Structure formats: C-alpha cells, structure tokens
C-alpha cells in the first residue's frame, strides 16, 4: 500500500465534520481525552490490531492529543466509541491509523474523522499531510484529493517488528 500526499491548503475552510445520524441518533466527532486512553486502546486492539493500538497510545500521549474519536449515545444508554482517527502518531506530518466500526461504515464517519484530523494538522501549521500505508486509496482520492507517492511502500514501516 502506497503512502499518499494531501495538500492541506486546499481543504475547504469550513470542513463539515458531522456524520449522518445513526437511526436518528447523532454521531459526535471530537478530540479524544487522555483519561480515555485505556478504553480507546482496548477498543482499537479488539476491533483492529495491536500495532494500531500502539499508534493510538502515542497519539493519546501528546498534548494536545492528536486523535479524534467518533461516538454515539443511544437513548437511555451509554456513549460508545464507533471510530477513531490519529495524526502525528508514527511520524510528524502523518495521518493514521483510522478505523470505523463496520456497523457504522458508509455514513460519513470515516470522512468526518479524516477531515477533523487534517483540519487540526492544518491548524498546527502543516502544509501537507502524508497518509501512511493508505489502504482505501480511492476513498482518500475522492475525499481530499490525495495522490499516491511513488515508491513509498513500505516507506517508514520498512523493517518494523511484527
């Protein structure tokens, strides 16, 4: 999977970070909080993999936190996590990892997390963002005009311990 490059200066000034309501329940996208680390890390590992957990823990260790979460609060129920997006976790200027609960895919949650992270990166002074080891390249091309970086795989992940 190639790395991809995003021109942050071409993002819309007022990016819409709101996902569609799920069965009438609003989905919230917000910056994660350090005291949520244990909950978020366990959810990411259970739903994705331990490598992503490590990257999320790195994002949660920064101040300000470089992770956004998507949550849903069901009527008379608890708030639960349904997605996450990180930046500056593995390397400065990198977006990712990111993931959405399969039950909530196709509702704009992934795009909302992507835009929230990229807008935060732009606010932090970055002109460009690298999407490391981009999986769904068509998604990134469509949402933010990302372009593949030639000869970028495995990139910074070369020789990573597994």
| 162 lies in some domain | no
Q: What is the pLDDT along the chain (162 residues), one digit of tens a residue?
A: 999 999 999 987 655 555 566 666 688 999 999 999 999 999 999 999 999 999 999 999 999 999 999 999 877 778 999 999 999 999 999 999 999 999 999 888 999 999 999 999 999 999 999 999 998 999 999 999 999 999 999 889 889 888
Would residue 93 count as lying in a domain?
yes
Q: Tell me, what's the pLDDT at 76?
A: 77
Q: Is residue 118 part of a domain?
A: yes
CATH code for the domain of 67:
3.40.630.30
Asked if residue 146 lies in contact with residue 5, where contact means CB atoms within 8 angstroms, the answer is yes
C-alpha to C-alpha distance for 72 and 77, rounded to whole angstroms:
10
Does the residue 109 lie in any domain? yes
* Number of domains making up the chain: 1
CA distance 7 to 146: 7
Range of the domain at 133: 4-157
Tokens of residue 7, six digits: 């021109």
pTM of the model: 0.92
At 17 the pLDDT is 52
In a domain, 138, yes or no: yes
Is residue 152 in some structural domain? Answer: yes
Partnered with residue 29 across adjacent β-strands are: 70
- Give residue for tokens 């005291």: 35
SS (H, E, C) the chain: CCCEEEEHHHCCCCCCCCCCCECCECEEEEECCHHHHHHHHHHHHHHCCHHHHHHHHHHHHCCCCCEEEEEEECCCCCEEEEEEEEECCCCCCEEEEEEECHHHCCCCHHHHHHHHHHHHHHHCCCCEEEECCCCCHHHHHHHHCCEECCCCCCHHHCCCCC
């Amino acid at each position: 999977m190639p790395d991809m490059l995003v021109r942050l200066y071409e993002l819309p000034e007022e990016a819409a970070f709101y996902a569609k309501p799920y069965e009438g329940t609003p989905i919230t996208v917000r910056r994660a909080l350090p005291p949520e680390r244990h909950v978020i890390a366990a959810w990411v590992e259970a739903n994705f993999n331990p490598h992503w957990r490590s990257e999320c823990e790195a994002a949660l260790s920064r101040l300000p936190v470089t992770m956004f979460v998507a949550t849903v609060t069901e009527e008379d129920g608890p708030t639960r996590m349904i997605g996450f997006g990180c930046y500056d976790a593995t390397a400065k200027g990198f977006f990712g990892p990111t993931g959405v609960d399969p039950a909530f895919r196709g509702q704009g949650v992934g795009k909302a997390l992507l835009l929230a992270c990229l807008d935060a990166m732009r606010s932090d002074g970055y002109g460009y963002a690298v999407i490391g080891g981009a999986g769904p390249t068509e998604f990134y091309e469509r949402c933010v005009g990302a372009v593949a970086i030639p000869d970028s795989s495995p990139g910074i992940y070369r020789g990573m311990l597994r």
